[in-house]
A and B are shown apart, each in its own frame.
Chain A
Amino acid sequence: MGVESDVGRRWVEVRWHGRGGQGVVTASNLLAESALLDNLYFQSLPEFGAERSGAPVVAYTRIADTPIPFRFPVQEPHIVVVLDYTLWGHLPVVLGLRPGGLLLVNTPASPQVVVRSLGWPLATVATLDATAIAQATLGRPIPNVPILGGLLRLRPVVSLEAVQATLRQRLSARLGHQAMQANLQAFERGYQQVQSWEGR
């Protein structure tokens, strides 16, 4: 399930698509930092460009139980996360997605709608209205933390406890206790509300 068991090894690659300001790189970093608490190896690499608000942003996460020797962009992700549905049709977001992988899209639409627009049911397709959750819990349309909840529900690439601990540590220091609690709630709702459609 998302974790390739290659000679008993854990190996998962994630590609994140979104726009500047949606917390794409932060989501990737949060996942990587959580992997540390599970005593795994990890990388979080932003796709490097002149980042600015609203511009397309890509980030990659690798999680493994052995050291990761290289640092090139993920070519064949197990998981693709799309934080902004308006990128659809403008970018080849499913490029290289492995058969049996997971495509998780931030949209109020059902997974079936995404599957129909893809015409490509080889992966598990999941949707979550992460922006609505973020608006309701954080008061801001930053969908990264709820979508992380949805991802963890469908692919437990790190433990829930590790992500929750990372959110607590990182956000209480930076944003204060109240914002940290709101983020934990956003994560929880994302975890609960994600809908998926299993591919073949």
Chain B
Amino acid sequence: MALAVSSRVPPVHGLGTPVALDGGTLVAHAMRQTRPDVVAAYPITPQTVITEAFSQFVANGEVHTEFVPVESEHAALSVCIGAAAAGARAQTATSGPGLALMWELLGVASGMRLPIVMHLCTRALSAPINILCDHSDAMAMRDTGWLLLFSENGQEAYDQAIIAVRLGEHPQVLLPVANVLDGFIVTHCVERALLLPDEVVSEFVGEYQPAYALLDLQRPVTVGGLDFQDFHMEHKRGQVEAMARAKGVLEGLFQEFAEISGRIYRLVEPYRLADAEVGVVVLGSTAGTVRYVVDRLRARGVRAGMLSIRSFRPFPALEVAAALAEVKAVGVLDRALAPGASAPPLFSDIASALAGVGLSKRLLGWVYGIGGREVLPQHIEGVFHTLADPSVPPGLVGWLGLREGR
């Protein structure tokens, strides 16, 4: 296989100082530049890069954050919740089983409307024990009321780590945000990226002005109150409405961020979809491989395209349906399983987004990359080939790169 990079791939563009850093360290820089009051984290592979780099910044006096090296992830998120309720800007980072241990607190953070930022370095959930990338952790927090932003590379993870602070703290949102980066593939990949000046980031995120702070003694509020059949449902509706408002807020922030960085982000990122007959939908770092395959297929006359989902929660259903409206056959790649479900998570969302606007489309799905199984251009080419074959029935086709037989 001769690899040749298409000239269509956009250059790493925009403003900032070129650096050679892995995705985890880039995110740690974004944390330093957004100046959280409190960071509580427990080291877990592959997130450790972030915690190590950030705690070094604290030790060096490069950021004046109260860094709390807790005894577990349950404690990490608990500390963040306490800090955020007190009115602090709080952040954490975790992976796979660490996120699983946080689970009880995920709903507490969103239900208390605390704009905590979590950097989630995706990792398979045990068992069998595995430290490598898949999205089973992110998908397990799908319905906990957190905003979920996926990134393709270290630059995007860094940029989103900055945007996430503004997003969560926005008065129309007030929800926790997970900045999702693929474990190892992004966290440990040293790449060229652009680091914005400290003062530019500082000005962009501004000072956090909490609307309600536990330690604001002039305006006392109840925090974490008991809430039964009389008002629980209304408070939950408030969360859902905030999530819906987050879409527009995020779009506005992308515009503002473009002004300081020169990098333009969208809720969903279409690539050569306008006249595509076959399109693949994907989350996270695999978008790069799909984009590369799209270019190769286009060079051979195949009308291929891609849709990468950046904002997974809120899920921009209308934008997804609009982007896929003219595509004849759509392939959805899921890096997580939903045993016993009618379809894996991303497939289900795409299907309901299309159905929601009355679009009936040939929709095929694949599971890939579970537990770090590599996904190569030939796998993606196979997906496009199958999409173009009308004899293959729609639905879940299979698992990419699976060893067949027992």
B1 touching A75, Cβ below 8 Å: yes
Rounded to whole angstroms, the CA-CA distance of A29 and B21 in the bound complex is: 9
Taking a contact as CB atoms closer than 8 A, the residue among A6, A36, A69 that contacts B292 in the complex is A69
CB-CB nearest in chain B for A32: B190
Rounded to whole angstroms, the CA-CA distance of A9 and B191 in the bound complex is: 19
- CB contacts under 8 Å to B, within A1-55, are 6-7, 9, 11, 13, 28-29, 32-33, 35-36, 39, 41-46, 48, 50
Which of B18, B19, B184 has the most CB atoms of chain A within a 10 A radius of its CB? B184
A11 touching B189, Cβ below 8 Å: no
Rounded to whole angstroms, the CA-CA distance of A13 and B5 in the bound complex is: 13
Which of A11, A32, A64 has the most CB atoms of chain B within a 10 A radius of its CB? A32
Rounded to whole angstroms, the CA-CA distance of A39 and B377 in the bound complex is: 27
A to B CB contacts below 8 Å, 20 in the list: A6-B4, A9-B5, A33-B20, A36-B20, A42-B20, A44-B189, A48-B131, A48-B188, A66-B9, A66-B11, A67-B5, A67-B9, A67-B12, A69-B6, A69-B292, A70-B288, A71-B185, A71-B285, A72-B289, A75-B376
A36 touching B18, Cβ below 8 Å: yes
> A: which residues have CB within 8 A of B?
6-7, 9, 11, 13, 28-29, 32-33, 35-36, 39, 41-46, 48, 50, 64, 66-73, 75-76
Name the B residues within 8 Å of A70 (CB-CB): 288-289, 291-292, 377
Taking a contact as CB atoms closer than 8 A, the residue among B1, B10, B374, B377 that contacts A67 in the complex is B10
Name the A residues within 8 Å of B184 (CB-CB): 46, 48
Q: How many Å from the CB of A53 to the closest CB on chain B?
A: 16
Which of B4, B10, B184, B189 has the most CB atoms of chain A within a 10 A radius of its CB? B189
CB-CB nearest in chain A for B285: A71
Q: Chain B 370-388, CB within 8 Å of chain A: the 1/0 string?
A: 0010111100000000000
Q: Does B192 contact A (CB under 8 A)?
A: yes
Name the B residues within 8 Å of A46 (CB-CB): 184, 188
A72 touching B375, Cβ below 8 Å: yes
Taking a contact as CB atoms closer than 8 A, the residue among B2, B19, B376 that contacts A72 in the complex is B376
Q: Does B109 contact A (CB under 8 A)?
A: no
4 closest residue pairs by CB, A with B = A44-B190, A36-B20, A48-B184, A33-B20
Sample of 7 further A-B pairs with CB below 8 A, known A71-B185, A73-B374: A9-B5, A11-B5, A41-B192, A44-B189, A45-B188, A66-B9, A68-B5
